[in-house]
């Protein structure tokens, strides 16, 4: 599928692993957007050629959405995001929920978009909120128990919010079953489903689910930033107008309703809670007199009583929630999505018996065919990750998930010994475009006592990713593994007082390090050192250390310039890196293809200058190396090595060219302060610090 995506073809060295945050855009969407804004740009009102063309395009967009969602009994409301649509919906249902009172059920293992709006209304009106939670099991496994939420439902449950997929766990919920069981216990309970995370990965069928509301966002599935709210028609009667007052009742132009705005009470709502019983509010009974639900709104319209068949009036309920209309430009991407799905169908040799002029027809059958292909393809990603997790080789990371239900290819990784912020920085600079954080699932972190400052590392794949890419992701993740070794430390003095002058003077060009109180300069890079004769800088990485290791600058993302490319071929630097690699492999069986390098100058002054304000510490890696390059007009700077109990076991005042390499898993270290040797001259200490990436 990569051939359809411009970004994937431009950035061939990158693996896009953050697709749950937003997918890439295919050519078909780019073309549909360009065509729309170039040739059809206007307003869908009036009878000009452009207006009529635009109206036809917007009708086409609605038909496509209906086809993708299998909408047969509802209306579609568009908006800028799932969050915005949910706020509009919640506010429109406020009076309804207030009258109904009772209780609502929310989840705390899903994106916040569909949660906060209803929680706020519940608190405002003292409506009871029940929370459906996961059950924490061992090894970061979280059980999703359907019986728990079903047992919560009672005769007073008015509203339930469900995620089709938890965007933190990646598990797919059986929406049909849950909704069916909820409505068995209370047919009047309304169900809203957040389908945003599920949309790119499986077949959506709102008609089959029999849900009342279902929300999707097209920018998660190859479109632009446009979202859609499906509402079952009978559930629309529970909403009040959030738009201009004259949208309280919007009828077809062909009707005889008199829109005399001077006679309309703008304070009137779609129904009056004081005059209706809760049973009247819920039109679950097909015999409910729908006309009576609107009486309060249309009392002042002259000819309302002339309508013999209220059900035949074509009401545009979307106007009540589409505040200010919706973004037609972004909505045009839905046409491009249709074209993309057609291209995917052709790619898989879709056999359409309903071809017209040898052209494949876009219909529900085609959508099912394509989404089934996508689902089957992506399932292999999940199996690949599952096999890795269950492998005896993996001792470092676990996937936060429920292992009893199906998943989309979304993997939230929790590391035992490494900080996810740092891992995310390294992976992104290695070309794995990942993300870490809480992903708007803060409640899940709070209730399960997970560290929000670390978050989780989330890898989310889509059908345009490849199996080779998935395998590469897994191989790189395996690099992050704590090594148990008897090795303590070693000292190499072969370059003592014999460092190349070119390498020494490169420290003169370093930029000031603003993260310390005393004067110092620094550059920092991630290096690819697979071939010692072809060392290269990887990306433009920031530096992050957890406060668990650095109590002075911990939990701060520090931004430093890269080291100069001019020194990468320096014979002294290559020897130092070669020595570090060989020591790591010989003593700890670590094959170092990537390492982090700090190039640091610390200036001395008339007072003691603390080289390591964090004190006796570890850096948080398997192996580290400290190389002295220059000692200019200073005294002090003794490197101390400590055992696991912080008992000093070795000390040395490193001279130019000497390399001290430590097992950072076992040992601690620090460096004593420096003073000027001659107070009338400048003094400084120059060092390289090498660390493995894990």
Looking only at the bridges linking them, the beta strands covering 659-663 and 489-492 are antiparallel
Query: How many CA atoms does the CB half-sphere of 24 hold within 13 Å?
Result: 25
User: What percentage of the chain exceeds 90 in pLDDT?
Assistant: 72
Dihedral through CA 26, CA 31, CA 36, CA 38, nearest 10? 140
User: What percentage of the chain exceeds 70 in pLDDT?
Assistant: 89
More confident residue, 119 or 45: 119
More confident residue, 587 or 359: 587
Structural tokens at position 500:
């190349």
- Decide if 442 contacts 452 (C-beta within 8 A): yes
- Residue 136: the pLDDT is 83
- Residue 273: the pLDDT is 37
DSSP 118: H
The reply to whether 376-477 shares the fold of 28-238 is no
Q: Determine the number of helices (DSSP H) and then strands (DSSP E) in the chain.
A: 20, 29
Q: In what order do the strands lie in the sheet with 74-79?
A: 74-79, 227-232, 213-217, 190-194, 157-163, 103-107, 128-132
d(CA 29, CA 37): 12
Instruction: Give the N- to C-terminal CA distance of the chain in Å, as an integer.
Output: 34
Token pair 């009540």 in the structure block, residue: 320
Structural tokens at position 42:
């206007």
**Closest Cα partner for 57 from 38, 71, 73?**
38
- Residue 224: the pLDDT is 97
Q: pLDDT tens digit string along 130-146?
A: 999 998 887 778 999 99
Token pair 């992976």 in the structure block, residue: 427
Domain locations along the chain: 28-238, 248-320, 376-477, 489-692
The C-alpha angle 30, 379, 371, rounded to 5 degrees, equals 45
The pLDDT of 181-203, averaged and rounded, is 97
Q: pLDDT tens digit string along 431-467?
A: 999 999 999 999 999 999 999 999 999 999 999 999 9
DSSP 72: S
> Among the listed ranges 118-132, 382-396, 669-683, which one has the minimum average pLDDT value?
382-396
The pLDDT of 593-606, averaged and rounded, is 94
- Decide if 65 contacts 76 (C-beta within 8 A): yes
- Residue 266: the pLDDT is 35
- Residue 346: the pLDDT is 93
User: For residue 636, what are the β-bridge partners?
Assistant: 674
Q: pLDDT tens digit string along 544-554?
A: 888 888 888 87
Q: pLDDT tens digit string along 63-88?
A: 999 999 999 999 999 999 999 999 99
Estimate to the nearest angstrom the gap between the alpha carbon of 564 and the chain centroid.
34
Looking only at the bridges linking them, the beta strands covering 489-492 and 456-460 are unpaired
State yes or no: pLDDT of 190 exceeds 90: yes
- Residue 297: the pLDDT is 35
The pLDDT of 101-116, averaged and rounded, is 95
Q: pLDDT tens digit string along 624-648?
A: 999 999 999 999 999 999 999 999 9
Strand stretches in 142-203, DSSP E: 142-143, 157-163, 190-194
Whole-number Cα distances in Å, 676 to 512, 514, 579, 605, 652: 20, 22, 31, 6, 19
Average pLDDT of the chain is 88
The pLDDT of 537-546, averaged and rounded, is 90
Torsion 503-506-511-516 (CA) sign: positive
State yes or no: pLDDT of 227 exceeds 90: yes
List alpha helices for 225-332, DSSP H.
278-281, 290-293, 295-298, 328-331
The pLDDT of 230-240, averaged and rounded, is 82
Strand stretches in 34-95, DSSP E: 74-79
The pLDDT of 313-322, averaged and rounded, is 69
Whole-number Cα distances in Å, 471 to 76, 385, 386, 529: 40, 9, 12, 21
> H/E/C letters for each residue in 329-343?
HHHCHHHHHHHHHHH
- Residue 394: the pLDDT is 66
Q: pLDDT tens digit string along 660-677?
A: 999 999 999 999 999 999
Q: Which of 289-298, 389-398, 575-584 has the highest mean pLDDT?
A: 575-584
The pLDDT of 680-686, averaged and rounded, is 94
Helical (H) or strand (E) element with 504: helix 501-505
- Decide if 233 contacts 293 (C-beta within 8 A): no
- Decide if 350 contacts 342 (C-beta within 8 A): no
The pTM (predicted TM-score) of the whole model is 0.86
The C-alpha angle 192, 193, 196, rounded to 5 degrees, equals 140
- Provide the 10 A C-beta neighbour count for residue 188: 18
Q: How confident is the model at residue 694 (pLDDT cuts 50, 70, 90)?
A: confident
CATH tag for 28-238 (out of 3.40.640.10, 3.30.565.10, 3.40.50.1370, 3.10.20.90): 3.40.640.10
d(CA 165, CA 397): 22
Does the domain at 489-692 match CATH 1.25.40.10? Answer given as no
Does the domain at 376-477 match CATH 3.90.1150.10? Answer given as yes
Whole-number Cα distances in Å, 429 to 33, 450, 658: 32, 26, 30
């Amino acid at each position: 599928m990569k051939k359809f995506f411009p970004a994937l073809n431009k950035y061939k060295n990158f693996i896009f692993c953050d697709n749950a945050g937003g997918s890439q855009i295919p050519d078909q969407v780019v073309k549909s957007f360009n065509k729309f804004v170039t040739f059809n740009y206007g307003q869908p009102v009036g009878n000009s050629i452009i207006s009529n063309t635009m109206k036809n395009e917007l009708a086409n967009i609605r038909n496509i959405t209906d086809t993708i969602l299998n909408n047969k009994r509802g209306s579609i409301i568009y908006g800028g995001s799932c969050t915005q649509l949910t706020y509009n919906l919640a506010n429109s249902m406020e009076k309804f929920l207030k009258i109904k009172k009772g209780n609502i059920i929310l989840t705390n293992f899903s994106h916040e978009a569909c949660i906060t709006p209803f929680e706020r209304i519940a608190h405002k009106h003292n409506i009871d909120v029940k929370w459906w939670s996961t059950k924490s099991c061992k090894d970061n496994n979280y059980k999703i128990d359907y019986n728990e939420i079903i047992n919560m439902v009672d005769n007073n449950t008015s509203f339930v919010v469900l995620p089709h997929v938890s965007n933190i766990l990646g598990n797919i919920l059986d929406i049909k079953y849950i909704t069916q069981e909820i409505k068995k216990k209370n047919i009047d309970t309304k169900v809203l489903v957040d389908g945003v995370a599920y949309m790119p990965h499986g077949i959506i069928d709102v008609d089959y689910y029999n849900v009342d509301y279902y929300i999707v966002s097209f920018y998660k599935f190859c479109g632009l930033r446009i979202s859609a709210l499906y509402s079952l028609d009978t559930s629309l009667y529970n909403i009040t107008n959030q738009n201009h007052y004259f949208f309280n009742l919007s009828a077809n132009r062909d009707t005889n309703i008199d829109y005399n705005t001077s006679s309309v009470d703008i304070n009137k709502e779609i129904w009056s809670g004081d005059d209706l019983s809760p049973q009247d509010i819920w039109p679950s009974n097909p015999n409910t007199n729908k006309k009576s639900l609107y009486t309060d709104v249309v009392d002042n319209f002259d000819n309302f009583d002339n309508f013999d068949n209220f059900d035949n009036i074509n009401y545009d309920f979307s106007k009540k929630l589409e505040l200010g209309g919706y973004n037609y430009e972004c909505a045009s991407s839905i046409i491009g999505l249709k074209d993309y799905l057609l291209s995917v169908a052709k790619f898989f040799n879709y056999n359409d018996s309903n071809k017209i002029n040898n052209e494949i027809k876009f219909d529900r059958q085609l959508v099912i065919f394509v989404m089934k292909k996508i689902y089957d393809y992506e399932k292999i990603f999940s199996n690949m990750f599952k096999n890795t997790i269950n492998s005896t080789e993996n001792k470092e990371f676990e996937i936060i998930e429920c292992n009893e239900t199906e998943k989309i290819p979304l993997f939230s990784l929790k590391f035992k010994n490494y900080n996810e912020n740092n891992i995310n920085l390294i992976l992104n600079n290695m070309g794995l475009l990942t993300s870490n954080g809480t992903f708007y699932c803060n409640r899940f972190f709070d209730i399960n006592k997970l560290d929000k400052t670390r978050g989780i590392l989330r890898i989310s794949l889509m059908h345009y990713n490849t199996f080779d890419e998935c395998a590469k992701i897994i191989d790189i993740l395996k690099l992050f593994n704590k090594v148990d070794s008897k090795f303590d430390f070693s000292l190499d003095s072969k370059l003592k007082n014999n460092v190349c002058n070119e390498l020494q003077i490169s420290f003169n060009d370093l930029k000031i390090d603003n993260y310390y109180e005393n004067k110092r300069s620094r550059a920092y890079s991630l290096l690819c050192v697979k071939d010692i004769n072809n060392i290269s800088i990887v990306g433009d990485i920031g530096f992050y250390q957890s406060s668990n290791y650095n109590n002075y600058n911990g939990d701060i993302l520090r931004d430093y310039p890269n080291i100069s490319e001019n020194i990468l071929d320096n014979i002294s630097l290559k020897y130092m890196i070669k020595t570090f690699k060989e020591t790591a492999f010989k003593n700890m069986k670590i094959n170092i293809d990537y390492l982090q390098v700090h190039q640091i100058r610390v200036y001395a002054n008339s007072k003691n200058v603390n080289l390591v304000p964090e004190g006796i510490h570890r850096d948080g890696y398997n192996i580290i190396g400290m190389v002295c390059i220059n000692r200019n007009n200073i005294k002090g700077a003794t490197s101390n090595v400590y055992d696991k109990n912080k008992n000093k076991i070795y000390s040395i005042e490193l001279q130019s060219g000497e390399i001290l390499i430590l097992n950072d898993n076992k040992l601690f270290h620090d460096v004593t302060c420096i003073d000027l040797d001659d107070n009338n001259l400048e003094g400084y200490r120059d060092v390289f610090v090498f660390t493995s990436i894990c």
